[in-house]
């Protein structure tokens, strides 16, 4: 093979492995070489065992050579955010509080990945307890900048060519924002699509899993693999899931319609982000995008999300916080102190508003294929200045809507900026079909 295996998309790699043109060992070794070459500066990995990864790859090659059944990710390496439990690797959750923590069992999504034939490459760095305090990961495009958070290492690992796929989580903007900052595709499916059993719980009402990939199809394929019903997860639903990879590969039967909401915080956009989004909508044309003023209540949902998240993390991890307060960062402590002041009645009121937001968007998408929105306020911030503002993801996460970011724009310093599309609940395939159309349409206009 003339090209370096680590540069392949997941779908390309899986096809080459299935046809015998590439061995999983070759692919994993190429990825490991890339990691050795660049991760000293990027620091995307919390745990990496090269021998274990190569052993998994060798087993995959042996299975294929024997003519046994193979899955859709057979032999393809995947990175896991270090809040996802693995029975054969530590899961330390981005904090010294859990240093050396070794789970007894795999998270449900890890079981599904193994069944699909994936090679679990290692654990990617997360912010402290998947919340506000950054760890050491840098942006692969420029190490002076942040990769975003909290799925910092997952976004950076894909962007740097370490792995074609990675799994992250999002409680506010922790998949879409780092994907935007690192220039990858990022996808957060409908809430309840992917089971969370065995994943650190920071907010039972808001936590969701998402995927990072080199292509739109890659993110959809990975989402398909780890989607399914799990009765242990209270948000998981017992219904069939849409075929997301098929959606990402399907041509739209008619040109889609988009909505743009004039939200009260749109003034937080950088000049480059605002101009880039205007240019995208100009290419789409007035007939394709309806700009509308958002109801005042939508802007208020930002505070509702914060109230739920802060209250729930204080409840879920109370024993940890009480026992290890001095080990927590000074970034996290004020958030927890605020969360401890939220009363039960105030929290329950916030949950009711959350339900109302979900009901509002059930009706909204009758007239639109997708909402078009920023993925983030602009380029990644300088390292040390936080992980970026998640506000452009907050509403959609609160309502449980599927969202995807496409790396379509470039900022003032040459760093990537994503464009976000948001779709209707449990119509993830339609959202991805619309994203596929938008990507092709923008490329055709630029040609």
Which residues are tagged catalytic? 81, 150, 174
Burial zone of 199 (CB within 10 Å; 0-12 exposed, 13-18 middle, 19+ buried): buried
User: Cα–Cα distance between 427 and 149 in angstroms, integer?
Assistant: 26
403 neighbors 393 (Cβ within 8 angstroms): yes
Under a CB-based contact definition with an 8 Å cutoff, are residues 362 and 368 in contact?
Answer: no
Q: How does DSSP assign 212-249, residue by residue?
A: EESSHHHHHHHHHHT----TTSTT---SPPP-HHHHHH
Beta-bridge partners for 259: 290, 371
For strands 119-124 and 185-188, give the pairing. unpaired
For residue 192, what are the contacts with CB-CB under 8 A and spacing of at least 6?
A: 233, 235, 236, 237, 400
Q: Are 183 and 380 in contact (CB under 8 A)?
A: no
Residue with tokens 């193994």: 114
The SS3 of residue 329 is coil
3-class state of residue 170 by DSSP? strand
Pairing type for strands 370-374 and 403-410 reads unpaired
Spatial distance between the Cα atoms of 222 and 217, rounded to a whole number of angstroms: 9
Of 151, 157, 147, the C-alpha closest to 208 is 151
Q: Which two tokens stand for residue 71?
A: 């899955």
Instruction: With H, G, I as helix, E, B as strand and everything else as coil, classify residue 209.
Output: strand
Which residues are 261's β-sheet partners?
Answer: 292
Q: Distance (Å, rounded) from C-alpha 356 to C-alpha 354?
A: 5
Residues in contact with 411: Cβ distance below 8 Å, sequence separation at least 6, in sequence order: 270, 272, 273, 276, 378, 379, 417
């Amino acid at each position: 093979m003339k090209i370096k295996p680590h540069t392949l998309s997941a779908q390309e790699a899986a096809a080459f492995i299935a046809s015998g043109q590439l061995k999983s060992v070759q692919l994993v070794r190429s990825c490991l070489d890339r990691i050795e070459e660049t991760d000293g500066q990027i620091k995307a990995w919390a745990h990496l065992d090269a021998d274990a990864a190569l052993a998994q790859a060798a087993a995959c090659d042996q299975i294929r050579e024997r003519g046994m059944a193979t899955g859709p990710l057979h032999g393809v390496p995947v990175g896991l955010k270090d809040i996802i439990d693995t029975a054969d690797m530590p899961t330390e959750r981005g904090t010294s509080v859990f240093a050396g923590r070794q789970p007894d069992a795999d998270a449900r999504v890890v079981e599904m990945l193994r069944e699909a034939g994936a090679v679990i490459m290692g654990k990617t760095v997360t912010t402290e307890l998947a919340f506000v305090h950054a760890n050491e990961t840098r942006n692969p495009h420029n190490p002076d900048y942040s990769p975003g958070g909290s799925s910092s290492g997952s976004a950076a690992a894909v962007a740097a060519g370490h792995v074609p796929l990675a799994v992250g989580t999002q409680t506010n903007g922790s998949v879409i924002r780092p994907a935007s900052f690192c220039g990858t595709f990022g996808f957060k499916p409908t809430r309840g699509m992917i089971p969370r059993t065995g994943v650190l719980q920071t907010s039972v009402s808001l936590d969701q899993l998402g995927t990072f990939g080199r292509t739109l199809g890659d993110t959809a394929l990975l989402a398909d693999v780890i989607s399914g019903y799990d009765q242990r997860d209270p948000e998981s639903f017992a219904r069939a899931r849409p075929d997301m990879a098929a959606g990402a590969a399907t041509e739209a039967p008619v040109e889609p319609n988009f909505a743009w909401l004039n939200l009260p915080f749109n003034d937080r956009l950088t000049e480059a982000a605002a101009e880039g989004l205007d240019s995208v909508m100009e290419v789409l044309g007035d007939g394709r995008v309806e700009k509308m003023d958002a109801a005042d209540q939508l802007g208020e949902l930002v505070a509702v999300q914060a109230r739920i998240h802060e209250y729930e993390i204080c409840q879920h991890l109370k024993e940890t916080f009480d026992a290890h307060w001095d080990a927590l960062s000074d970034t996290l402590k004020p958030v927890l102190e605020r969360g401890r002041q939220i009363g039960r009645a105030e929290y329950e009121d916030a949950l009711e508003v959350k339900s109302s937001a979900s009901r509002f968007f059930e009706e909204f998408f009758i007239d639109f294929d997708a909402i078009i929105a920023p993925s983030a306020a602009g380029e990644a911030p300088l390292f040390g200045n936080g992980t970026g503002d998640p506000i452009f993801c907050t509403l959609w996460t609160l309502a449980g809507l599927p969202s995807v970011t496409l790396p379509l724009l470039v900022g003032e310093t040459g760093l990537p900026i994503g464009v976000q599309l948001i779709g209707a609940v449990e119509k993830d395939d339609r959202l991805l079909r619309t994203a596929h159309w938008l990507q092709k349409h923008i490329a055709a206009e630029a040609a």
